[in-house]
Amino acid sequence: MGNTDKRWVAALGALGMACGLVACGASGDAADEADGQRSTVTLVSHGSWAVSDDVVAEFEKTSGYRLRVLEDGDAGQAVNKAILTKDNPQGDVFFGVDNTLLSRALENGLFQSYEAEGIDRVLPEYRVDEEERRVTPVDTGDVCVNYDKAYFDERGTPPPDTLDDLVDPEYKDLLVTENAATSSPGLGFLLATAAEYGETGWSDYWEKLRDNGVKVVDGWEQAYNEEFSGSAGGRQAGGERPLVVSYASSPPAEVIFADPQPDTAPTGVATGTCFRQIEYAGLLANAANPEGGKALLDFLVGRTFQEDMPLNMFVYPVREDARIPEAFAEHGPPVANPRTMDPEEIAEHRDAWVKSWTSLVLR
């Protein structure tokens, strides 16, 4: 009877070997890819990366490299994955680390130095790490409370404008925000309050906000598309909250992505609640194609990309000479005095603040 089992084992062994062969085939593919990488430059980014096709074509024509993009979920996860794989990175350039996470990337040695061509045209307030030049600023965006215009028009009451307004009983149970521990705008909003009320005052403020009925959901998608009554998604989903933590560029997006386009945006921005995020790109420490990566960084701060970016990713350029699209000027004028915070100060306090925020607001 031994033979029976032997055959059985042999059959399974053959199966195993077949799998092994498949695996070899797979690593063969990887080798081919490695050969091709001399002419390809790989950009690793978060899921919000977007660019016009003709702009990519222009980069490929002028630089001679083929652009390959690896998008990877949300910003925080993409940064962490890049750090974990930094010895053997998945690409050459990483785009999408913002000022709230910058220190984490720098401390972990994610990037190598490179001074991008054209960095002198970037507005000075966005340049950081001037000695080592490990990152290149690419865009900025403001995290702000958005309001549903129709809601406040109907009631004849003014929408809130400042952080102080939000704790006014008049706006009780109206605001929805995101989990500061898991969401980038959620963290931005927490940092706005920390910048405004200081290290000791922000928790008092959040206590008041909590007592005034702020609702916290896990991510931006849920807050903006399901809970907020002013967005296209929220209206369909029957959203019930007329105030939401989103971006200053959300109102123009509501116009541009509507069919037919309305004359004015259905939502507005409470300009006294904003926190400025700056997004950076950098050459990965162990990039396989550093030359291609440098060409890509030059391109990211170049005028062509900077002027293409706003309507694709709904952010603002960092270059002083980049034109801002009309729809932005019309439906979402730049925020005059946003709160912001030095990446080092954020690094020093972020984890502790998020922790006490979590126990204060969520538990």
Partner 1 sequence: MGQVVDVAGPQVAATDGRRSRGDRARLALMILPVLFFGVFFAYPVAAIVARGLRPEGFWELGRIGEVVADPGIRGVLWFTTWQASASTALTLLIALPGAYVFARLDFPGKRLLRAVVTIPFVLPTVVVGTAFLALVGRGGLLDDLWGVRLDTTVWAILLAHVFFNYAVVVRTVGGLWSQLDPRQEEAARMLGASRSRAWRTITLPALAPAVGAASLMVFLFTFTSFGVVQILGGPTFATLEVEIYRQTSQAFDLTTAAVLTLVQFAAVASILAVHAATVRRRETALTLVDAAVTASRPRGVGQWALLVSVLATVVALILLPLGVLVRRSLRAPAWGYYRALTREDGGAFLVPPIEAVGNSLRFAAVATALAVSIGGLAAAALARREAGRWVRGLDALLMLPLGISAVTVGFGFLIALDEPPLDLRSSWMLVPLAQALVGVPFVVRIMVPVLRAVDTRLREAAAVLGATPWRVWREIDLPLVRRALLVAAGFAFAVSLGEFGATVFIARPDDPTLPVAVARLLGRPGETNYGQAMALSTILMIVCAVALLLLERLRTDRTGEF
Binding site for partner 1 (CB under 8 A): 1-9, 12-13, 15-16, 18-19, 22-23, 26-27, 29-30, 33, 47, 50, 53, 69-74, 76-77, 79-81, 83-85, 87-88, 90, 104, 179, 181-182, 216-219, 221, 224-226, 231-233, 236-238, 257, 351, 354-355, 358-359, 362-363
Q: How far is the CB of 267 from partner 1 (least distance, A)?
A: 13
Q: How far is the CB of 8 from partner 1 (least distance, A)?
A: 7
Q: Which of 267, 197, 282 is nearest to 225 (CA)?
A: 267
Q: How far is the CB of 118 from partner 1 (least distance, A)?
A: 27
For partner 1, the closer CB: 231 or 271: 231
For partner 1, the closer CB: 70 or 123: 70
SS3 assignment for the chain: CHHHHHHHHHHHHHHHHHHHHHHHHHHHHHHHHHHHCCCEEEEEECCCCCCCHHHHHHHHHHHCCEEEEEECCCHHHHHHHHHHCCCCCCCCEEEEEECCCHHHHHHCCCEECCCCCCHHHECHHHCCCCCCCCCEEEEEEEEEEEEEHHHHHHHCCCCCCEHHHHCCHHHCCCEEEECCCCCHHHHHHHHHHHHHHHHHHHHHHHHHHHHCCCEEECCHHHHHHHHECCCHHHHHHCCCECEEEEECCHHHHHHHCCCCCCCCCCEEEEEEEEEEEEEEEEEECCCCCHHHHHHHHHHHCCHHHHHHHHHHHCCEECECCCCCCHHHHHHCCCCCCCECCCHHHHHHHHHHHHHHHHHHHHC
Angstrom distance (rounded) from CA 220 to CA 10: 54
Q: Which tokens hold the place of 25?
A: 């085939």
Q: How far is the CB of 231 from partner 1 (least distance, A)?
A: 8
For partner 1, the closer CB: 57 or 362: 362
For partner 1, the closer CB: 107 or 344: 107
Handedness of CA 106, 221, 178, 147 (dihedral sign): positive
Q: How far is the CB of 222 from partner 1 (least distance, A)?
A: 8
For partner 1, the closer CB: 60 or 71: 71
Q: How far is the CB of 11 from partner 1 (least distance, A)?
A: 9
Q: How far is the CB of 153 from partner 1 (least distance, A)?
A: 24
Query: Which is it for strands 175-178 and 215-217: parallel, antiparallel or unpaired?
Result: parallel
For partner 1, the closer CB: 79 or 295: 79
* C-alpha dist (Å) from residue 242 to 3, 35, 85: 75, 54, 42
For partner 1, the closer CB: 241 or 319: 241
For partner 1, the closer CB: 25 or 124: 25
For partner 1, the closer CB: 235 or 303: 235
